[in-house]
């Protein structure tokens, strides 16, 4: 029994042990630098592979939801499609408009990808497997996320074309509007955990009462916070149903209309990596990071749980993309400012009340009503406020 437990804990820490073993061959002066380089390389390789897998998964998933096959020619079930896509984007001609601002046009995708990858530095992927354990880890994550908006603007403005600029303005307005509910929804967790460090937040959720884990998802304010966080994350990543800035049927491709070849692939990569990073943060804050769902499943290595939860969230993203129609710009803005902002503030109040009522059935009841009742009232009130106007037509005189 204990032999099995030892083997499982070694499997759990296999990456940590491997890196220690590799580093022991180096002189002591070089070890911190090389350990950092090793971890960064591992993260980049792992998540770039996940990106390739997700593009395939998305096209197959969307295809099936739309009652058609996805790509199925390249390799078994189309599994080598990402490789074909990569080869295509690398070999395409890189067209830059003559009137474009070349320096900014070049820097924009680079900044986007760099900002997206920086967010992984504070995500705990497994037990003892975080790149940097910052004291203000969650703040670092949101700071880096706000760098992406600047990259989007640079892309749209430097192309000097109407569609790009329009798409960029819409995208930035959407991203800064949804950054507020995103941060507020995560503050609830920070209030409860008492720390901004991601490792501390995950460690708080890694305990069990009976077989149920102490994830923040299983509390009323945690559930509401998770739903709000996921909606805001979908909007931050410019994904359907919030993909008006890159809507293919409306403004061609929005802020990356004028990009071709490898730079377009970099934009694609940056968006998806940003989506994975925000999902990873949602997992860390609400879903317990690398901890197992039930106490009898803790023998499975921790990083497998993290990637399983990440894949579940990606599947949910793809599912929502295939199901819901796109939101118009004013509907998008109204959702952010009139619905999600009051809901996140009420969620904060609920979490505060949860903290002060002693544990038991009372606080479950009180907090659940505090979350559900305003949700029903607000959503119905906002729906009934829309006045339907008589449709008028203006003809040119």
Partner 1 sequence: MVLAVLTVAGTVAAMGLRNAVHCVLALTLGFAGIAMFYLQLGAQFVGFTQILVYVGAVAILAVFAIMMTHNDKPMAPPASSSPWILGGVAAAAVFAVLAWAIVSSTPSTSCQPPQPGATVQQIGDALMHRFVLPLEIMGLLLTAALIGAVVIAMDRREEMK
Report DSSP letters for 107-139, one per residue.
HHHHHHHHHHHHGGGG---STT--S---TTHHH
Does 139 help bind partner 1 (rule: CB under 8 A)? yes
Residue 65: C-alpha distances to residues 238, 307, 318, 323 (Å): 20, 24, 10, 8
Nearest-approach distance from CB 5 to partner 1, in angstroms: 35
Q: What x-and-dash track marks residues 95-134 binding partner 1 by CB under 8 A?
A: ---------x-----------------------------x
Does 172 help bind partner 1 (rule: CB under 8 A)? yes
Cis preceding-peptide flag for 199 (omega within 30 of 0): no
Instruction: Indicate the residue among 50 and 148 with the shorter CB distance to partner 1.
Output: 148
| Piece of 67-75, 191-199, 212-220, 242-250 that binds partner 1 (CB under 8 A) | 191-199
Does 140 help bind partner 1 (rule: CB under 8 A)? yes
Nearest-approach distance from CB 177 to partner 1, in angstroms: 12
DSSP-derived letter for residue 338 is: I
Q: In this structure, what token pair is assigned to residue 166?
A: 């329009």
Query: Nearest Cα to 171, choosing from 235, 83, 91, 94?
Result: 235
- The span from the CA of 31 to the CA of 22, in Å, is 10
When binding is defined by CB under 8 A, the residue of 58, 85, 149, 258 that contacts partner 1 is 149
Instruction: Indicate the residue among 6 and 136 with the shorter CB distance to partner 1.
Output: 136
- The span from the CA of 115 to the CA of 148, in Å, is 6
Q: Judge whether 219 and 205 are in contact, CB under 8 Å.
A: no
Q: In this structure, what token pair is assigned to residue 131?
A: 């790149």
When binding is defined by CB under 8 A, the residue of 22, 194, 369, 379 that contacts partner 1 is 194
Instruction: Indicate the residue among 59 and 170 with the shorter CB distance to partner 1.
Output: 170
Does 32 help bind partner 1 (rule: CB under 8 A)? no
Residues near partner 1 (CB under 8 A) are: 104, 134-136, 139-140, 142-147, 149-150, 153-154, 157, 165, 169, 172, 176, 179, 194-196
């Amino acid at each position: 029994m204990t032999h099995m437990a030892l083997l499982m804990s070694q499997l759990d820490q296999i990456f940590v042990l491997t890196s220690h073993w590799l580093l022991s061959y180096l002189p002591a002066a070089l070890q911190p630098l090389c350990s950092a380089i090793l971890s960064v390389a591992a993260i980049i390789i792992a998540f770039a592979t996940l990106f390739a897998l997700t593009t395939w998964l998305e096209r197959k998933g969307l295809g099936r939801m739309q009652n058609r096959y996805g790509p199925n020619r390249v390799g078994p079930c189309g599994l080598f499609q990402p490789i074909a896509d990569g080869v295509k984007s690398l070999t395409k001609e890189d067209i830059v408009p003559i009137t474009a601002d070349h320096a900014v046009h070049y820097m924009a995708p680079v900044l986007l990808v760099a900002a997206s990858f920086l967010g992984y530095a504070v995500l705990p992927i497994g037990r003892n497997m975080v790149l940097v354990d910052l004291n203000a880890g969650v703040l670092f994550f949101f700071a880096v996320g706000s760098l992406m908006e600047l990259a989007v603007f640079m892309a749209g403005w430097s192309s000097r074309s109407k569609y790009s600029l329009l798409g960029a303005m819409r995208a930035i307005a959407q991203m800064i509007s949804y950054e507020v509910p995103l941060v507020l929804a995560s503050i609830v967790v920070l209030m409860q955990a008492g720390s901004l460090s991601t490792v501390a937040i995950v460690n708080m959720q890694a305990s069990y009462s009976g077989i149920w884990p102490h994830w923040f998802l299983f509390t009323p304010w945690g559930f509401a916070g998770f739903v709000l966080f996921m909606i805001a994350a979908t909007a931050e990543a410019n994904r359907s149903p919030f993909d008006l800035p890159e809507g293919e049927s409306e403004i061609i491709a929005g802020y990356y209309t004028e990009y071709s070849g490898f730079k377009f692939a970099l934009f694609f990569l940056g968006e998806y990596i940003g989506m994975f990073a925000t999902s990873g943060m949602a997992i860390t804050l609400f879903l317990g990071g690398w901890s197992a769902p039930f106490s009898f499943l803790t023998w499975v290595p921790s990083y497998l749980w993290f990637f399983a939860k990440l894949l579940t969230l990606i599947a949910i993203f793809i599912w929502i993309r295939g199901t819901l129609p796109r939101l118009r710009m004013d509907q998008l803005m109204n959702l952010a400012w009139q619905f999600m902002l009051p809901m996140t503030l009420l969620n904060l109040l609920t979490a505060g009340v949860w903290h002060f009522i002693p544990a038991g059935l009372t606080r479950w009841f009180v907090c659940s009503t505090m979350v559900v009742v305003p949700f029903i009232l607000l959503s119905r009130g906002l729906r009934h406020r829309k006045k339907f106007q008589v449709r008028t037509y203006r003809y040119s005189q």
